[in-house]
Amino acid sequence: MHRIVSWPVAFVRFWYHFIIGDDWTVAAAVIVALLVTALLNARGVVAWWLVPLVVIVLVTVRQYRAR
């Protein structure tokens, strides 16, 4: 029973660590930035700059906070 439960858990854990990594807030911020970009684009607003800006801010803030 333990093996039956642990295999899917290990599978999900592998993909979680592979994609999300050690900081889920970075993934969440990227998804929000993509959604906002899609909404702005649908309203005819030029929004290609938003995701690169979020990436630069995210990386800089995360490096600054990392010890």
Partner 1 sequence: MTGIIPVLITTFLASAVEAVEMVTIVVGVGATRGWRAVLIGVVAGIGVLAVLIVGLGAALTRIPIGPLRIVVGGLLLVFGLQWFRKGIRRVAARGMAGVQFNPDDEEREWTGDGFDWTGFVLSFKGVVLEGVEVVLIVVSFGASAGQLGAAVIGGAGAVVVIGGIGGVLHPFVTRIPRSFLQLVVGTLLTTFGTFWALEGIGIAWPGGDGAIVGLLLLYLLTASANIALVRRRTLVLAPERR
Residue 3 found at the interface with partner 1 (CB under 8 A): no
Q: Tell me the one-letter amino acid at 66.
A: A
DSSP string, 41-67: HHTT---TTHHHHHHHHHHHHHHHH--
Ramachandran bin of 21, using left for φ above 0, alpha for ψ from -120 to 50, beta for the remaining angles: left
Residue 22 found at the interface with partner 1 (CB under 8 A): yes
Of 2 and 41, nearer to partner 1 (C-beta) is: 41
Smallest gap from residue 3 Cβ to partner 1 (A): 16
Q: Where do contacts with partner 1 occur on this chain (CB under 8 A)?
A: 14, 18-23, 26-27, 30-31, 34, 37-38, 41, 47-48, 51-52, 55-56, 58-60, 62-64, 66
